[in-house]
Amino acid sequence: MFRGTMLVFVLLVGCAAQGQTPEGPAFDAASIKPAGDPGGIGRAPSVVRLRVGPGSVTLQYFSLMECIRWAYNVNAQQISGPAWLNSQRFDIIAKAASRSTEAQLRAMMQHLLAERFKMKLHRDSKEFNVLTLTIAKGGTKCKPSEGDGEMGFGSKGQGAIAVSHATSAQLAAALADILGQPVVDKTGLQGHYDCSMDMRSYVPESGTEPDVIGLITAVLREQMGLGVSSRKTPLPVYVIEHIEKMPTAN
């Protein structure tokens, strides 16, 4: 469980139900290719699987489920669809015609999925146990990013990740992927930050399965100066009615 959750980074705005290719912004150009041998993911500790710039998005070795989650800014529990969504993986490079906000890029990705994968879905609602991200006593230890740059999430080795030029909301989305449940940003932090999480020293040496939520909570408090609390709240759920396994040609 722990190793699997560490491979996923993600993160992500809800929108109205989609029954056809949505109206709204679309990418100026997009390339979607089936992902090849993921050897680089496992062997290169600094690989970045997600890059979001002011007018572009790069998703490397992303499952179709991860693509949908990024587009709709939701956790895996908020997507209902066929099991193969987790096994079909793609490399996507998409560029907008001009500078765009992350919310606009997500809307464009929704359009791309509907257009190229013929995805149709509708929106529902369900109550979830949600984790709230706050600033811990003593203040945050995340460092403000210097200058402009792309947001990126990357692995630094088994049990360690690095986050660069990310907002607190994007960090919350990444934590949602690791923890397997929704995380809401309530830190009030503004701007972009660089930070890292190294969980290797927190994992039991006995080989027993660790308490992932307890482990992450400790790492956040001690390494990032962030706190986590729990509450129940209704969240949107997206039910996929139809989606193709392979996209139409580039």
**Taking Cα atoms as reference points, which of 10, 15, 235 lies closest to residue 114?**
15
Percent over 70 (pLDDT), the chain: 83
Distance CA 92, CA 59 (A): 5
Edge-first strand order for the sheet with 120-135 is 79-80, 226-242, 120-135, 183-185
Report, as an integer, the average pLDDT of 39-68: 75
Helix (H) or strand (E) holding 217: helix 212-219
Task: Tell me which of 16-30, 62-76, 196-210 is least confident.
Answer: 16-30
**Mind listing the pLDDT tens digit for each residue in 177-200?**
777 788 889 999 999 999 888 888
| Phi and psi, residue 120, nearest 5° | -130, 135
Position 240 pLDDT exceeds 90: yes
- Name, of 5-14, 15-24, 136-145, the range with top average pLDDT: 136-145
Radius of gyration of the chain (CA): 18
Distance CA 237, CA 26 (A): 23
Please give the angle made by the CA atoms of 129, 230 and 128, to the nearest 5 degrees: 10
CB atoms under 10 Å from CB of 150, counted, come to 16
In eight-state DSSP terms, residue 125 is E
**Mind listing the pLDDT tens digit for each residue in 58-86?**
999 899 999 999 999 888 889 999 999 99
Task: Tell me which of 14-28, 78-92, 129-143 is least confident.
Answer: 14-28
- Name, of 30-39, 57-66, 110-119, 191-200, the range with top average pLDDT: 110-119
CB-based contacts of 12, cutoff 8 Å, min separation 6: 69, 70, 71, 72, 73, 74, 106, 173
Spatial contact of 114 and 234, defined as CB atoms under 8 Å apart: no
Q: What is the mean pLDDT of the chain?
A: 82
Residues β-bridged to residue 163: 153, 195
Confidence at residue 37, expressed as pLDDT on a 0 to 100 scale: 59
Q: What is the pTM of this model?
A: 0.70
Spatial contact of 12 and 173, defined as CB atoms under 8 Å apart: yes
Tokens of 171: 């960090």
Report, as an integer, the average pLDDT of 21-34: 85
Amino acid (1-letter code) at residue 167: T
Confidence at residue 69, expressed as pLDDT on a 0 to 100 scale: 92
Position 42 pLDDT exceeds 50: no
C-alpha distances (whole Å) from 170 to each of 12, 110, 138, 175 are 7, 18, 22, 9
Q: Write down the residue that tokens 């997507």 correspond to.
A: 79
Per the model's pLDDT, the better-predicted residue between 37 and 141 turns out to be 141
